[in-house]
Amino acid sequence: MPHIPSSQIGVVVAQTLILVIGGLITYYSYKAYSRTGSPEHKWLTAGFGIVTLGAVLGGVLDLGVERYTAGDLIYTSVFVSSSLTAIGLGIILYSLYVR
């Protein structure tokens, strides 16, 4: 078991919370979609899913993959998570206009 710096523990806790909370919102949106079948809920589910996925993926890249590779992936992980957040929020906005 490799040593984890205390600063990384905070990141892991936050990522876990994002996974659980974002996952629940996505799940409820999906259930609303399967009941109403409306495109708004489909895009809402996709948006929340991508935001959640992006944050968690960023953390996995930074803390997980980095341990087994030589390079520093901090910028890559910030880039991945923030771009997916931007895309996800864009899709959530789109869900308000879709017909």
Partner 1 sequence: MVRNPFGDDDSPELTTVLDALDDEDCRDIVSVLDEPMTASEISDESGVPLSTTYRKLELLTESSLLYEGVEVRPDGQHASRYDIDFEEVVILLDENNAFDVEIAHRARTPDQRLENIWSEVRKET
Name the site residues for partner 1 (rule: CB under 8 A).
Answer: 25, 28-29, 31-32, 35-36, 38, 40-41, 44, 95-97, 99
Q: How far is the CB of 37 from partner 1 (least distance, A)?
A: 9
Q: What share of the chain is helix, strand, coil (3-state, %, to 5)?
A: 85, 0, 15
Nearer residue to partner 1 within complex by CB, 49 or 58: 49
Question: How far is 56 from 62, CA to CA, in rounded Å?
Answer: 10
Residue 31's alpha-carbon distances to 24, 39, 65, 82, in angstroms, are 10, 13, 33, 27
Q: How far is the CB of 53 from partner 1 (least distance, A)?
A: 19
Q: How far is the CB of 28 from partner 1 (least distance, A)?
A: 4
Nearer residue to partner 1 within complex by CB, 85 or 94: 94
DSSP letter, residue 69 = S
Question: How far is 36 from 61, CA to CA, in rounded Å?
Answer: 36
Nearer residue to partner 1 within complex by CB, 32 or 89: 32
